[in-house]
Amino acid sequence: MLTRAAAVYTTSLASRAEVAQASGRSEHEVGLLPIPIDATHFSPAQDSDWREALASPVLIFVGRADDARKNLPLLLEAFATLREIHPDARLRLVGAPPAGAQPAGVDVVGCVDDVAPELRNAALFVLPSLQEGFCIAAAEALAAGLPVVSTPCGGPEDLIRTSGGGRVVASLGAEALAAAVDAVVRNPTMAEVMRKSGREYVRHFHAPRRFRDLLASALAGIDG
Per-residue pLDDT of the chain (224 residues; tens, 9 = 90+): 555 666 777 677 776 777 666 666 776 777 777 889 999 999 999 999 999 999 999 999 999 999 999 999 999 999 999 999 999 999 999 999 998 889 999 999 999 999 999 999 999 999 999 999 889 999 999 999 999 999 999 889 999 999 999 999 999 999 999 999 999 999 999 999 999 999 999 999 999 998 888 778 877 766 65
CATH of the domain at 61: 3.40.50.2000
Same domain assignment for residues 10 and 103: no
CA distances from 35 to 63, 71, 124, 135, 159 (A): 18, 23, 22, 10, 11
Nearest in space to 12 (alpha carbons), one of 216, 205, 218, 213 = 205
Q: How many domains does the chain have?
A: 2
Domain range enclosing 84: 47-205
Residue 153: CB atoms within 10 A of its CB come to 23
Within a domain: 191: yes
Please check whether residues 5 and 94 belong to one and the same domain: no
Residue 217 DSSP SS3: helix
Shared domain check, 165 and 56: yes
